[in-house]
Amino acid sequence: MKRRRFRLSERAADDLASIYEYIAAENRAGARRVVDGIQAKIRSVAVLGLTGTSADVPSSGVRIIIFRSYLVYFRVTPSHLLVLRILHGRQDISPDDFPESDMT
């Protein structure tokens, strides 16, 4: 397994902000714990060199890891793990959620 750094796409960063805002409306401390937990999970997968599971999305090469109810979609390159989206498991996804412009 190869150690990698991770990078969030603009959409993934927006997803994290939305997750925080949604939970913070009721519980700011809980929102911080969830966002910190998601980031810690991503970091550990990248550092340990793990590659998750193949995701059933329109673009090939997309992998997935799960943190609580959230699905972290990413691509693996030789040097880093690119996080594409972070979505709740009950959200419907479509090809529009994974544009080719976000895949590099």
DSSP lists the bridge partners of residue 83 as 8, 74
Q: What is the pLDDT of residue 17?
A: 97
List C-alpha distances in Å: 12 to 1, 9, 21, 27. 24, 5, 14, 22
pLDDT in tens, 79-91: 888 999 999 978 7
Q: What is the pLDDT of residue 3?
A: 77
Question: What's the farthest any 2 CA atoms get from each other in the chain?
Answer: 40
7-22 mean pLDDT: 95
Domain range list for the chain: 5-87
Confidence of residue 94 (pLDDT cuts 50, 70, 90): low
pLDDT at 99 over 70: no
Of residues 102 and 3, more confidence is placed in 3
Question: The whole model's pTM is what?
Answer: 0.83
Report the CATH number of the 5-87 domain: 3.30.2310.20
